[in-house]
Structure 1
Amino acid sequence: MTSAALTDPARIVNVLLVEDDPGDVLMTREAFEEHLHNRLDVVTDGDAALSYLRYEEPYTDHPRPDLILLDLNLPRRDGREVLAEIKNDEQLRSIPVIVLTTSQAEEDVLRSYQLHANAYVTKPVDFDGFIEAIKQIDHFFVSVVKLPN
């Protein structure tokens, strides 16, 4: 992607954040508002994430996400189940999924990659570190990687 394409307002990257922690949602929104120029939609549980991705009520009017930031520890349906459903769905599997979680457990890392996560990022505990991690994810998946249309 050229730098001209990055500044092209027609190529806004649509990001879906699946996160139930209000503090993490707030920090992610702040990172997007102050440092990034992409669209961020948020759902707070695994069932809502799948409804959003399948355009089910009440999520019938939004662009298809170009990138999903997925927490593992979610209510109703956890992130592992959501990841498995996304990667087993022919219509959804091409959307890159970045697991963004507090878990540093090796079994969570291994299981996420077995379920075909595109990346696994442990959330930094401090605000500046969290903002920097979001910026780096955005930079890599928007500026470096070619996403499918």
Structure 2
Amino acid sequence: MSDAAKDRLRLWLRLLKVVRGIEQDLRDELRRAHNTTLPRFDVMSALSRHPEGLKMSQLSGVLRVSNGNVTGIADRLSEEGLVERIPVPGDRRAMMLRLTSEGATEFARQAEAHQDWINEKLRDVSPEDARAMAARLQAFAAKSEQKEQVNAQ
């Protein structure tokens, strides 16, 4: 293996370790502070970006998980009054999910705490470095998505 390949592998492993560590800390904080889970937070986050609501299939696509994964979470959030199910006109089988006003308020509270946790976790990264790293990762992600689209054709 070339030195460049070893360096890239090392980078990947370090990225993975950091992301998994932060993700576990977030899971713990969400459970402790809000009695919720990261998947529930992710569903509410996606719905907060689509105030008109999303079909279950769209939500699964946004989250990149199966419909089955979303259904159970949606059921519990609906039972708690945080999301509402809305029939899709012309499609008896399809349902839209939308945050209720209570759900939007609760998500705003969780999102603020989430931002504070991330800010604290990454406090040693300057804003300039954060922007540069984010731009670099976004460019990498866009390039990877283009390859996926070409391969899917």
Q: Same fold (TM over 0.5)?
A: no
Which structure shows the higher helix fraction? 2
TM-score, length-normalised on structure 2?
A: 0.24
TM-score, length-normalised on structure 1?
A: 0.24
Compare CA radii of gyration and give the structure with the larger one. 2
